[in-house]
Amino acid sequence: MAKLRQNAVIAGVRASAAGARVGAGGRRPYICGGAGYEGVRDRRRPAAGRPPHRTFDAGSEAFVAHIARRVGTFPGYPLAQIPRRKRELVAAGVDVIDVGAGDPEEAPPAVAVEALTAALHDPAMSKYGFQLGLPAFREAVVRYHRRRFGTAFDPMTEVLPLIGSKEGLAHFALATTDPGDVVVVPEPGYQCYIGGAIASGGQARIAPLRPETDFLVELGELPREVLRRISLVYLNYPNNPTAAVAPRDYLERTVAVCREYGIALAYDNPYVEITFDGYRAPSIFEIEGAREVAVEFHSCSKTFTMTGWRLGWAVGNRELIAALTTIKSYHDTGPFLAVQQAAVAVLDQAETVAREAVRRFEARREVAVKALAAAGFEVAPPQATLYLWVPLPEGLKSAEFARLAMEEEGVIVMPGSGFGASGEGFFRVALTVGEERLAEAAERMGRVLARA
Ligand SMILES: Cc1ncc(COP(=O)(O)O)c(C=O)c1O
């Protein structure tokens, strides 16, 4: 059995307080860290005994508190500005169609609402959950994995409730990565991967996801000296934002590399239920040996329309789960117990609830793909997820397209570059609104394209 490498043995890798990001060998090296310090300026003389430092420009000369350098090393969060601008547009009377965030417009399933309502009347559900959470939720997770993927887990040591999978994914870097270790971050990708890498002091190695390579990250192509320094790889298939899926043989060779080099594998799987045309997405634990290196992250958000409820779970290698539990014990006190109780009811009906959601997304996919084609965009229907990853014509920058779509046509989409530089040339449509609205959004975007 491949033993997880102890991070401490990595020699010759210097910790970088600024979270320097090393570039991909020969691909697109760049640094994210101390270098990217725009918007920050020297503010005051260092207090006696303190090292010189800088603070953010908080818009007030009176602001003198210390802000950690690391804050300036995070790339801008793609969704950060959109809600404010959307509010302004709506207030101005614009008929906004928001297909930006992956947040379906439907209500949560009735079974979830009923179970939550009942749980709220039980005072025990209003107590701290801690990392243990609700044992019944852990057990429901285990039942779900057994039914869906034929895998067995110990509910107490191989499962961990999360306050949404996002925090678990980001915290996982703290559990696996020492300063200077290399973290493989797919790009375009969900932003908490790079967030976790930076927070841990790791060096993010960007793995560009491109159509030419089926949006896959081929670990085996990395030089051995890099592989030896990797502490963690994030993978997400079915993928956000590209909607790519991973063939089984790809997963097999990826797990094999992780085992050989003792790399922790964070398999981010929130879209596992949202698949079409007979395609069935696997759990990473269907792959032999994955249990030695992997933790899989699941979410109640998309399939069960519970984005704001903040509930997910991690499942997998028990040492990694224990390490994540330790980190989280010092950062949070676990998800709301009443929400965990509601999720027990949802998970026990997961297949039924998911079937309904898939039917909805599938119908939207059909309409949106056709409407986008009629509007001058070319996009193939994806086999999974609630996203369309739409190519733009050469020379039209995705941020500019998204800006024009929002400002001139009231359509909110995510520019590909918002998921990292490798996402340039695409924009993402989330199938979060009804068919008519999707068709309308496509038509409006067609007008933007025609003018661009
Ligand atoms: C790939 C991916 N992972 C994780 C998440 C986070 O989901 P949650 O709501 O469980 O934090 C998202 C949400 O958009 C996502 O797209």
Q: How many CA atoms lie within 13 A of 22 on its CB side?
A: 19
Per-residue pLDDT tens over the stretch 237-246: 999 999 999 9
Residues 168/160, Cβ–Cβ less than 8 Å: yes
Is there a contact between 7 and 230 (Cβ–Cβ < 8 Å)? no
> What pLDDT is stored for residue 16 in this prediction?
35
Bridge partners (DSSP) of residue 299 are: 312
Which of 160, 163, 166 has most ligand 1 atoms within 8 Å of its beta carbon, as the pocket-test mutant? 166
What are the tens digits of pLDDT across the range 330-355?
999 999 999 999 999 999 999 999 99
pLDDT at 210 over 70: yes
User: Closest Cα partner for 357 from 240, 275, 268?
Assistant: 275
| Amino acid type, 82 | I
* Ligand 1 atom, smallest distance to 301 CA: 9
Q: Are strands 264-268 and 411-412 parallel, antiparallel or unpaired?
A: unpaired
* pLDDT beyond 60 at 1: no
Report pLDDT digits (tens) over 61-76. 666 788 998 999 888 7
| Residue nearest to ligand 1 atom 6, measured at CA | 166
Q: CB within 6 Å of ligand 1 — which residues? A: 102, 164-166, 190, 236, 240, 268, 270, 299, 301, 307, 312
Please tell me the distance from the alpha carbon of residue 427 to that of residue 21, in angstroms, as a whole number.
Answer: 25
Ligand 1 center from residue 299 Cα (angstroms): 7
**Alpha carbons 101 and 386: distance in angstroms, whole number:** 11
Give residue-wise pLDDT tens across range 82-104: 888 999 999 999 999 999 999 99
Kindly tell me the sign of the dihedral angle through the C-alpha atoms of 142, 147, 148, 149: positive
- Out of 209, 217, 237, 268, give the residue to mutate to test ligand 1, the one with the largest number of ligand atoms within 8 Å of its CB: 268
Tell me the pLDDT tens digit for each residue of 15-49.
333 333 333 333 333 333 332 223 333 444 444 55
pLDDT computed for residue 393 by the predictor = 96
Cα-flanking dihedrals φ and ψ of residue 202, to 5°? -75, 165
Confidence of residue 79 (pLDDT cuts 50, 70, 90): low
* Beta strands per DSSP E along 273-356: 294-299, 312-316
Q: Using the mean position of ligand 1's atoms as its centre, give its distance from the Cα of residue 101 in Å.
A: 10
- pTM score of the predicted model: 0.88
**CA 174 to centroid of ligand 1, rounded, Å:** 18
Straight-line distance from the first to the last Cα atom of the chain, in angstroms, rounded to the nearest whole number = 56
Helices first, then strands: H and E counts in the chain: 12, 14
Tell me, what's the pLDDT at 42? Answer: 40
CA angle 334, 336, 337 (to 5 degrees): 100
Tell me the backbone φ, ψ of residue 109, rounded to 5 degrees. Answer: -60, 145
Give the pLDDT of residue 81. Answer: 79
Residue 7 has pLDDT above 70, yes or no: no
Q: Tell me which residue has its CA closest to atom 14 in ligand 1.
A: 102
**Residue from 79, 171, 240, 303 to probe ligand 1 pocket by mutation (most atoms less than 8 Å from CB):** 240
**Residue 2: pLDDT above 80?**
no
The ligand 1 atom nearest the CA atom of 311: 10
Q: Is the pLDDT of residue 57 over 50?
A: yes
Q: For all residues of the chain together, what is the average pLDDT?
A: 88
